[in-house]
Amino acid sequence: MKSSALRAFLIIFFVEMTRIYKLGLNRLKLIFLAFFIILLFMPYRAIDLSLTLSFISILSLFYLKDILFINVKKDSNLIKAFKTILTVNISLLPLILYYYGSVNLLLIPVNLIVVPIFSATFALVFLKIILYFTIRPLAYFISFLIDFLLDIIYFVVDLFSGIDFFKFSIKNMNYYFVIVLFLLVLYFIFERNYIRLSLTDKIKGFKIIAILILSFSFIFEIASYTSLSMIDIGQGDAFLISDGKLTGMIDTGGDIKGSTYKFILGPYLKKRVKKLDFVIISHDDIDHSGNLKYIVRDYDPIIFTSEKSKISSPKRKILKNEDIIKSTGFSIKVLDDGKEYDESNNTSLVLSYKQKGFSALFTGDMEVDKEKNLSMDLKHDILKVGHHGSMTSTSDDFLKKVNPKIALISAGYKNKFSHPHKETIEKLEKYGVRYFRTDRDGEVRITSSVFGNEIKHKLRNKKSLASFLLGDLLYIIVLTGTFTLLLKDLFKENDYELYRGYRKI
């Protein structure tokens, strides 16, 4: 069951139990009780975005809607719907911007159209279930109506989602900004003097928030830094490079069904970039090039490949030895030994990447045979370990040639090939190379700016249920408990006089 549906079921259940047995549970207790039960039995749902968005939505409807619109005296069905939709959108705005990087301002009018249609569809679904066991021919007719209404919803959503003029974007937004944005919204909503203000003055307050958001957006856009990211793509390679002027990728990852693009790379790029100028494909293996067709569809970049690649595109350009791709913050140079190889892995492009403060060597799936033949100066600060850490790559001699301080290994969590192999890890440790691996560390991002270089990674959550209960869940309980106390203090009995027409919790 989806987190949002489970939350709704539990709240309805507790509301009925409270009514029947007179338990004295208020709205806040009901919400946190449902939240607690979901995490108690399914702790992994703590990282489920839908659960977070669902609870924030219901909290906003219970506690913010009446305060936001305290001076709105008209209460027609249209105004009620507008109040509900606007409240939810305001409360979810910081997280939507953080996770997706953009929000379409047409969401509100679209929801005013779609929500009533969806409500009617939802009612028809229940009617169909009843009729299926009583009057089956009528149930089939209801199915036709449901399909018709769903087609209308899809049409409206597709129509408005294609209008980019109303799309507001903030790329690379960090969680500090999310916290600041939440605090600003809460301040303007709950500050007593603000509550007493007229609707016109409240709108002025939200204009201030909008100006601050745009200011932060401008700061993010002009921030001068160059970044190299090893994307947690699963069993494959995918690296994102950006300096604010040019944005490109080295390999794309991929699989036969395209699921890594749909669920990982697509959302990742949508959040991180507005455009992709180029993609370099080291070689044609699907775990390095499989997502290229989707990237071409969505971003239409220039495609750089080796001469042996079978990739066909009017925007394809062939890279040869010592060819250079250069931008303000980085440069990429091709290193090739000029030899022919039967093994496809050894057709991988070898790339020397230089960014302010460090250099990195990209090796694709290159194996030991080709490692031996590279005679040029190979010293780099960072080594992208060949073939996902396979024992067929990264020989002792090659490590001595490169002499890296850091190694990057892109491998799927619990992959069937057991990458990276134990022997490879032992070699890295033997030469004192600090290594990061996507199956353990998640995405790894290296940034260069006026403040120096910084390495960040998102550690994967692989904790046992016991450690989760002892650690993270305890933290969640403390956090929610503290939040409860704050709200109880906020909604003191003598404060209700401030909220004209506001119902007690």
Tell me the CATH architecture of domain 225-449: 4-Layer Sandwich (3.60)
**359: which strand partners?**
354
For residue 94, whether the previous peptide bond is cis, meaning omega lies within 30 degrees of 0, is no
Looking at the chain, the domain(s) classified CATH 3.60.15.10 span: 225-449
Nearest CA among 409, 455, 412 for reference residue 428: 409
What residues contact 422, with CB distance under 8 A and at least 6 apart? Answer: none
> Between 89 and 413, where is the model more confident?
413
Of the pLDDT bands very low, low, confident and very high (cuts 50, 70, 90), residue 469 is: very low
Nearest CA among 356, 327, 332 for reference residue 449: 356
Residue 435 has pLDDT above 60, yes or no: yes
Tell me the three state secondary structure of residue 34.
helix
Q: Could you tell me if 90 and 60 are in contact, meaning their C-beta atoms sit under 8 angstroms apart?
A: yes
Helices (H) and strands (E) in the chain, counts: 20, 17
Residue 130 has pLDDT above 80, yes or no: yes
Please give the Cα distance from 249 to 302 (Å, whole number).
10
pLDDT at 361: 96
Residue type, 469: L
Tell me the three state secondary structure of residue 388.
helix
∠ CA 494-497-499, rounded to 5°: 120
pLDDT at 271: 81
The whole model's pTM is what?
0.57
Question: Among the listed ranges 168-177, 264-273, 347-356, 476-485, which one has the minimum average pLDDT value?
Answer: 476-485
> Between 336 and 435, where is the model more confident?
435
Please give the Cα distance from 267 to 249 (Å, whole number).
15
In tens, the pLDDT along 373-384 reads 988 889 999 999
As a dihedral over the C-alpha atoms of residue 368, residue 374, residue 378, residue 383, rounded to 10 degrees, the angle is -30
Residue type, 244: G
Q: Could you tell me if 62 and 30 are in contact, meaning their C-beta atoms sit under 8 angstroms apart?
A: no
Instruction: Please give the full DSSP string across 246-287, using - where no structure is assigned.
Output: -EEEEEE---TT-HHIIIIIHHHHHHH-S---EEE-S---HH
